[in-house]
A and B are shown apart, each in its own frame.
Chain A
Amino acid sequence: MTAALAISLAIEAACFILLLSGAAAVWVACKGCLVLRKLGRDATRDDVPILLKSPRVPAVSVVMVARDASPRSRAFARRILDLYFPHHELVLVLDGVEGDDMAAWTRDLRLVPSRHSTAGELPASPALAAYESTDPSDMVVFQKERAGEADAWNAGVNASAAPVIAIFDPETEFAPESLLRLIRPMLYDPDLVFAVCGWTPAPPEPGLAGSIADIEATRLWLGRCAAFAGWRNMLAPVAGSTILVRRDAIVAAGGFTAGPLELFLHLQGRARLSAKPYRAALVVEPSSFLPAPRTWSDLRQWNVNDQRSIAGALRHRDKIMGGRSALGWGLPAITFQRFWRPLLETATYLVAIAGLALGLVSPLLGLLVLLSTVGAGTLVSMSSVVFRELTDLRGSDPERLKRLFWAAIAENLGYRQLRNLWLIGGYLRR
């Protein structure tokens, strides 16, 4: 009798926490909606043609780190060179690339030896060789021995000549004018905006997996992008984001300690502790996105990769100013939503099923578990779709909305439970 009561109380408490987390998710989505509507209203003017020919726009160095010479990496470098911008250069760091791979890069980019150096303000091991292209493109390439991710990024920043550093995720699709869109907040408030982050959900793919991925992207867009951008120093890039950071801010922060996410968190942590209202801005015009998952396997990979990047950043928390509080309550909230909530929910399912089988839990309690997980989850997904639609000032595709309505229900009947396991696994594997 005591065991039954204890189990029932534990399940009730878990249900209460899960319901509260659902309510918090709706609140965050609502905040995200308001932020996106405001940003959307402010972004009505197309300044791209004027900015493109203005000499006043600061130069940008796009830093890229490549560890192979795959056709994808080389195509990515070419796409960077094709960006529309008044003055931009590519600083390519070939980290541990040698032999045939190096020859492929040399052939592809028409490289000739150069005397550029990676020596500078940030700690970085010296480059084995430097190259520049005989093409009319502005580019400098460094060949380095592999000495860690931070070392390669720092070498790139040292070699960059521009006051603004751009970092693109190699997996992303981006528009040629994305840099011109991203630079606007820095031009509007050059003294206080130290970084800009651009990300938009990808165009949805067909099928149930595509629709569920669309809902996932909607939640991410409203929550971790828009809502966090609306609160002071809480924005952090998600997978597929393009980042612009002021070079002097990177140098003042001591450079990279791991990857771009950790740097961004470190800068946000520094900004929180600063007396001045320094801020990172979000750009809502289409700049870059990760191609939308098409299959269940893509969806799993997408979730696991995101989970690993969060876990990776937390692993480096001692090198991030403010540690877990670098984003205020943002990082603990992300950790709860992406790890502790799935863990609690999965445990609740298991205990409830076992309790029902053993007669320790009443069927009404089982119904409460379903309401607070599947029921609340469906409503959270549906409300996210509603909020995202409200961010569009004119309205979008009705067929997509109909698809998402059914996907929001289907998502919570099987996929949600499976996703919990992916998230727990992705976080623990690190």
Chain B
Amino acid sequence: MIGLELTAVAALLSGFAVWTCGMYAVILLRAFRRRNELRLSAELQPQIREELVACLSGSGDRPKLKELCLRSRRDVSEALMSFQGTVAGGALDRLCEISMELGLIRDWCAEARAKKSVLRRAAFARLSFVCAFEPCRRLAGDLLEAALDDPDPEVRFCAWRSLARSGTVPEIEKLFSAALSQPLLIRILLTEELRRFAVPLCERAVILALKSEDKGRVLACLEMLVAWERSVPVPDLRFLIDSPDRRIRIQALRLAPLVPLEKADLSAIIQALLGEDVEATTAAAVACGRLQFEDALPALARCLRSKDAGLARAAAEALAQMPPKGWNTLREMCVSPDPLTSGAAAEALERAQRQARV
């Protein structure tokens, strides 16, 4: 009986051992290949970068670059991509020209049609970088346009990014509209890409989004405007500050110090300061501080007497930004019998005076 059991266990373990050793051999071979690739990269990358820098500055030895490309197309692609975010204008055009000359765009287009998601994602990332250059865009054809609706979110994001770099205003408006329904992370990334289109977008797309029935889209639009930190015209901000949705109210109050305001908008901010919602009131206090809005001093003093520590601190900070009237109010509040009020007032006053001395 024990002999039979032993045989069965030995057979099972032997089978597994054969599989494990086989897999071990495979990963070892792969690791050796990877080491050779890394060695080649270590040798070629400095030369490729040197040649690319020379080419970008207008000189450079294209035949040498072609020779290097024959030795390792992967390394040339990686070196090209390492310039992403560091070159623009004419230098970027020359870089894209080089990638066309070396036939890399065709490689990337082929990889973009591959089944492996890792290959596809890398290819689309590269294409979205070089397709800022019109001739490259023509060579890539409708690949990026088709990728706008790709099921893979990473591929879709690359296509959006490419569109943000080279699209026309109507295309950018479409992209902005699509971005509003994306997860926060994607919205943050696209916000950066769309920042330079803030003014044309505010002419139509932003106004339409702010008038949307979908509260989520209004909120996303406001968040994007706050993140742009650009002084763009946002008409009728008071309606958003008075919105029944507290999240919209808070974002509108955060946007207030960044955009040109009308008198009615300022009244809406004071009304928000007198509200019951602590987070909205805190946002209003912060806005008043940034705007150095002295008409809000009595309302800020009221907020400073709040039982909420965060609100009291925000109101004190706002008053501290409005010397001398705000500082006088803080001095009066320093002797308040409520330790929270006196503490917040004294702390903000001390900090403001310390900063003024510095």
Binding site for B on A (CB under 8 A): 8, 12, 15, 19, 26, 41-42, 44-45, 47, 49-51, 53-57, 114-115, 117, 119, 161, 184, 187-190, 362, 364-365, 367-368, 371-372, 375-376, 379, 382-383, 385-386, 389-390, 393-398, 401-402, 405
Contact = CB atoms under 8 A, between A and B. Distances in A.
B188 A379 contact: no
B125 to A, nearest CB: 7
B183 A51 contact: no
A371 B9 CA distance: 8
Main secondary structure of the interface of A (DSSP, over half): helix
B239 interface: no
A184 B35 contact: no
A47 B189 contact: yes
Nearest to B340: A117
A395 B27 contact: yes
Contacts of B183: 187-189
A151 B78 CA distance: 51
Contacts of A395: 27, 30-31, 33-34
B125 A45 contact: yes
B226 A55 contact: yes
Q: Which 7 residue pairs across A and B have the least CB separation, nearest first?
A: A395-B34, A115-B343, A187-B185, A398-B31, A395-B30, A389-B27, A188-B185
B243 to A, nearest CB: 20
B12 to A, nearest CB: 8
A368 B9 contact: yes
A56 B223 contact: yes
Contacts of A56: 184, 187-188, 191, 223, 226-227
A396 B34 contact: yes
Contacts of B343: 115, 117
A405 B24 contact: yes
B117 interface: yes
Interface of B: 2-3, 5-6, 9-10, 13, 16-17, 20-21, 23-24, 27-28, 30-35, 85, 117-118, 121-122, 125, 154, 157, 183-189, 191-192, 223, 226-227, 229, 309-310, 343-344, 346-347
Nearest to B122: A44
Given A161-B310, A376-B13, A379-B17, A386 B27 contact: yes
Contact of B192 (A50, A114, A371, A372): A50
Contacts of B154: 42, 44-45
A19 B344 CA distance: 65
B309 A117 contact: yes
Interface centre among B183, B226, B310 (most CB of A within 10 A): B183
Contacts of A54: 188, 191-192, 227
Contacts of A53: 192
B6 A367 contact: yes
Contacts of A389: 27, 30-31
A372 B9 contact: yes
B138 to A, nearest CB: 26
B117 A41 contact: yes
Nearest to B84: A46
Given A56-B227, A364-B2, A390 B27 contact: yes
Nearest to A361: B2
Contacts of A364: 2-3, 6
A115 B339 CA distance: 9
A401 B31 contact: yes
Contact of B118 (A26, A44, A401): A44
A400 B310 CA distance: 53
25 contacts: A15-B9, A42-B154, A45-B125, A45-B154, A47-B189, A54-B191, A55-B226, A56-B184, A56-B188, A115-B344, A187-B188, A188-B183, A190-B184, A365-B2, A368-B6, A368-B9, A379-B16, A379-B17, A382-B21, A382-B24, A383-B16, A386-B20, A395-B33, A401-B27, A402-B28
A115 B20 CA distance: 63
Contact of A368 (B2, B24, B34, B192): B2
B330 to A, nearest CB: 13
Contact of A393 (B20, B24, B31, B118): B118
A389 B191 CA distance: 37
A117 B118 CA distance: 50
Nearest to B10: A371
B251 to A, nearest CB: 11
A362 B2 contact: yes
Nearest to B22: A386
A154 B229 CA distance: 35
Contacts of A187: 183-185, 188
A189 B184 CA distance: 7
Interface centre among B24, B32, B85, B346 (most CB of A within 10 A): B24
Given A47-B185, A398-B28, A382 B9 contact: no
Contacts of A119: 309
Contacts of A15: 9
A19 B9 contact: yes
A42 B187 CA distance: 17
Nearest to A19: B9
Nearest to B33: A395
B327 to A, nearest CB: 17
B28 A184 contact: no
Contact of B13 (A57, A188, A375, A386): A375
Interface centre among A19, A114, A187 (most CB of B within 10 A): A187
A190 B219 CA distance: 15
Contacts of B2: 8, 12, 362, 364-365, 368
Contact of B20 (A190, A372, A383): A383
B181 to A, nearest CB: 14
Given A362-B2, A364-B3, A368-B6, A51 B188 contact: yes
B353 to A, nearest CB: 13
B20 A41 contact: no
A371 B7 CA distance: 11
Contacts of B188: 50-51, 54, 56-57, 187
B289 to A, nearest CB: 16
Contacts of B189: 47, 50
Nearest to A158: B309
Contacts of A117: 309, 343
Contacts of A50: 188-189, 192
B346 A115 contact: yes
B180 to A, nearest CB: 13
Contacts of B223: 56
A32 to B, nearest CB: 15
